[in-house]
Structure 1
Amino acid sequence: MAAAEGAVIACHTKDEFDAQMAKAYEAGKLVIIDFMTSWCHGCQEIAPVYAEYAKKYPAAVFLKVNTEELEEVAKKYNIHSYPTFFFIRNGGTLESFVGADPEKLEDTIKKYYVVGASSCLGVRLRR
């Protein structure tokens, strides 16, 4: 289940998703979630860009959630449009947006990306 830094981690079960989120929370890492579907044209177009950003920003955790597989997770995040990107750190949502916009995606990653985030941010939010 563990993936190397710089890779997109596809979560196929709720247990996998929960484990990745818990691991990122413990490390204080930025989590970027791509909520997508197999039939969404924009989702298919942004996928290689998302993978490129995962390599470019290896201190963040890049998750991919197919909402057809993980309806329960999609419902928890109130996903209704695709692709939807969520930016989460220490259990709290920093930002989210809808759309396959590579520039907006990278700008938002840069806004929250901190190398060594767990040691630099100091205080963690409590669950």
Structure 2
Amino acid sequence: MTKEEIEQLQGLTVIEFGASWCGYCKAAQAIISKALLNYPNVKHIKIEDGKGQRLGRQYAVKLWPTLVFLKNGVELSRLVRPTHEQVISDALNQMNNETPH
């Protein structure tokens, strides 16, 4: 997936940057999944990040997992290494109620 394709996405989307071997990413999967259950209208796209992956650099991802919350391809907010379901739910709720600038 390219940044241009992401910018063309319609509706609400969470892009999750991470790596399959990343311990922080594995630990966060349960809380990410649980938070997203309450938002069936939100698309969840996982992006495998790492050396040679340009998309993560284009989004200035430095730590995994990084969740980027988008509305119609426009970034509204992001969370880096979330550790509680409530923080993700709060961001999803805010995303549902915001309009991009």
Could you state the TM-score of these two structures normalised by the residue count of structure 1?
A: 0.64
Higher RCO structure, 1 or 2 (CA under 8 Å, sep 6+): 2
Given the alignment, which residue of 88, 96, 100 partners 1:113? 96
Q: Provide Cα deviations, 1:12-58, integer angstroms capped at 9, x if missing partner.
A: xx26x93x763x32xxx111111111232121011122223333211
Query: Is 1:49–2:52 an aligned residue pair?
Result: no
**More off after superposition, 75-84 vs 32-41:** 32-41
> Aligned with 2:87: secondary structure?
helix
> Aligned with 2:47: secondary structure?
strand
Matched letter for residue 36 of structure 2:
A
Structure 1, unmatched stretches of 5+, are: 1-13
Structure 2, unmatched stretches of 5+, are: none
Moved over 6 A (4+): none
Could you state the TM-score of these two structures normalised by the residue count of structure 2?
A: 0.78
Instruction: Count the aligned residue pairs.
Output: 99
Greater Rg over alpha carbons, structure: 1
Partner residue of 2:87?
104
Distance in 2 of aligned mates of 1:87 and 1:65: 13
Partner residue of 2:72?
90
Distance in 2 of aligned mates of 1:39 and 1:61: 23
Give 1:1-127 correspondences, 5 Å limit.
14=1, 18=5, 22=8, 24-25=9-10, 29-68=11-50, 71-101=53-83, 102-113=85-96
Kindly indicate whether the alpha-carbon contact (under 8 Å) linking 1:43 and 1:82 is maintained by their aligned counterparts in 2.
Answer: yes
Distance in 2 of aligned mates of 1:113 and 1:78: 24
